[in-house]
């Protein structure tokens, strides 16, 4: 379905937007069902060795107060989330060397004893690390390619290597992870053509999950004066991804909610089938400032879940009772 040129036309032209969003919604209903998978997101450290130009956690941002949850605290947060009904726990952080292979493995093992699926989102690591995490019980891994435009990638990540990021994604797939990737929409200098290539890339590597969000400028980064990505363009990249990749898991991202009230519900009606409520303690949540104005959850885990459940049922969708692996209809 859809060639690169057709994708470019659709992204450029807003006339067919509502048809595209409807087709994405139908594709989601057919291949992923009516239930929304909820993932409890724990943002456990904002320490980061990277220089990504757009991200507020970048190591050169000296204004950010850094925090690191201790392993016991991470496991106890996961326990509360499981108690609140979550079937998946997502562990996300900056690239923080404190969390060695052994420390991560212990955290994963302890969380797996509680029963949920475990998703990691902790950046680029060696294949041996990824293997150890998998052996410890990790089920899924999120690592956005961010952009497939190699020149833009170099500008945005001067310290990183596009080929290594690709290699990481291939390693994750080979090790049997459900592998998630995705992109930012609206990075300064990003072209529509490269967004079309991003979508085709998700298909080519057979991503199991794809997270797409608009770029939101952070004032304490080199991109602070640029404008944010376009909500509808990000939504269209997401919708086309659903239409092309059929049964993948697609989150309605927090960045969408941050740019537009009820942005997550709009995304759920345009191809998304996953929501990742933030269950991190309010002590830390505002310090995990990858971009400003992050849509804030309620103060406690149960309340956050109740609120999101109500919103989801208000659009006629149900909450999944399963772990929500790719293509699972529950
Ligand atoms: N360190 C991990 C997790 C990164 S944070 C990793 O490297 O994978 C998760 C995602 O936040 C990133 O992949 C990026 O796409 C997104 N992000 C970072 N800064 C952003 C910004 N300013 N606007 C929107 N999304 C941003």
For atom 13 of ligand 1, which residue has the closest CA? 144
C-alpha 254 – ligand 1 centre gap (Å):
11
**How much is the pLDDT for 229?**
98
Choose the residue to mutate in 55, 148, 258 for probing ligand 1, maximizing ligand atoms within 8 Å of C-beta.
Answer: 55
Q: Which two tokens stand for residue 242?
A: 């659903």
For atom 20 of ligand 1, which residue has the closest CA? 55
* Domain presence at residue 36: yes
Q: Which atom of ligand 1 is nearest to the CA of 214?
A: 24
* Domain presence at residue 41: yes
44 lines ligand 1 (CB under 6 A): no
C-alpha 15 – ligand 1 centre gap (Å):
30
Q: Which atom of ligand 1 is nearest to the CA of 146?
A: 15
Total domain count for the chain? 1
* Domain presence at residue 203: yes
297 lines ligand 1 (CB under 6 A): no
Ranges of the chain whose pLDDT falls below 70: 330
C-alpha 316 – ligand 1 centre gap (Å):
30
**How much is the pLDDT for 99?**
98
β pairing state of 88-93 and 40-45: parallel
* Domain presence at residue 123: yes
Q: What is the pTM of this model?
A: 0.98
**How much is the pLDDT for 268?**
98
* Domain presence at residue 65: yes
326 lines ligand 1 (CB under 6 A): no
Q: What is the CATH number of the domain that holds 177?
A: 3.20.20.70
C-alpha 255 – ligand 1 centre gap (Å):
10
C-alpha 287 – ligand 1 centre gap (Å):
14
Name the residue range of residue 32's domain. 4-319
**How much is the pLDDT for 1?**
78
**How much is the pLDDT for 223?**
98
3-state secondary structure of 293: coil
C-alpha 55 – ligand 1 centre gap (Å):
6
* Domain presence at residue 328: no
**How much is the pLDDT for 254?**
94
Residue 218 CB neighbours (<10 A): 22
**How much is the pLDDT for 296?**
80
Report the 3 state secondary structure along 89-155: EEEEECCCCCCCHHHHHHHHHHHHCCCCEEEEECCCCCHHHHHHHHHCCCCEEECCCECCCHHHHHH
DSSP code of residue 175: T
* Domain presence at residue 325: no
- Using CA atoms, how far apart are residues 72 and 86, in angstroms rounded to an integer? 19
**How much is the pLDDT for 329?**
83
* Domain presence at residue 66: yes
């Amino acid at each position: 379905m859809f060639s690169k040129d057709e994708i470019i036309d659709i992204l450029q032209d807003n006339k067919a937007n509502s048809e595209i969003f409807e087709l994405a919604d139908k594709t989601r209903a057919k291949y992923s069902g009516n239930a929304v998978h909820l993932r409890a997101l724990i943002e456990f450290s904002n320490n980061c060795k990277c220089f990504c130009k757009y991200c507020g956690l970048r190591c050169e941002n000296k204004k950010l107060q850094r925090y690191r949850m201790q392993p016991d605290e991470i496991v106890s947060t996961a326990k509360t989330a499981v108690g609140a009904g979550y079937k998946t726990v997502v562990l996300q952080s900056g690239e923080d060397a404190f969390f060695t292979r052994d420390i991560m493995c212990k955290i994963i093992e302890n969380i797996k004893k509680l029963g949920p699926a475990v998703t990691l989102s902790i950046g680029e690591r060696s294949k041996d690390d990824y293997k150890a995490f998998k052996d410890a019980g990790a089920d899924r891994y999120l690592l956005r390619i961010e952009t497939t435009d190699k020149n833009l990638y170099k500008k945005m990540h001067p310290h990183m290597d596009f080929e290594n990021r690709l290699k990481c994604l291939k390693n994750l797939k080979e090790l049997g992870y459900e592998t998630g990737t995705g992109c930012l929409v609206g990075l300064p200098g990003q072209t529509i053509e490269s967004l079309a290539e991003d979508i085709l890339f998700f298909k080519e590597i057979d991503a199991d999950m794809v997270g797409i969000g608009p770029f939101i400028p952070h004032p304490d980064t080199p991109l602070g004066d640029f404008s944010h990505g376009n909500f509808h363009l990000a939504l269209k990249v997401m919708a086309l991804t659903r239409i092309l990749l059929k049964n993948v898991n697609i989150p309605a991202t927090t960045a969408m909610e941050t740019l537009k009230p009820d942005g997550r519900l709009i995304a759920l009606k345009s191809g998304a089938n996953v929501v990742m409520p933030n269950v991190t303690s309010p002590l830390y949540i505002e310090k995990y400032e990858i971009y400003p104005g992050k849509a804030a959850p309620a103060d406690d885990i149960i309340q956050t879940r109740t609120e999101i459940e109500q919103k989801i049922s208000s659009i006629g969708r149900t909450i999944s009772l399963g772990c929500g692996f790719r293509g699972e209809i529950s």
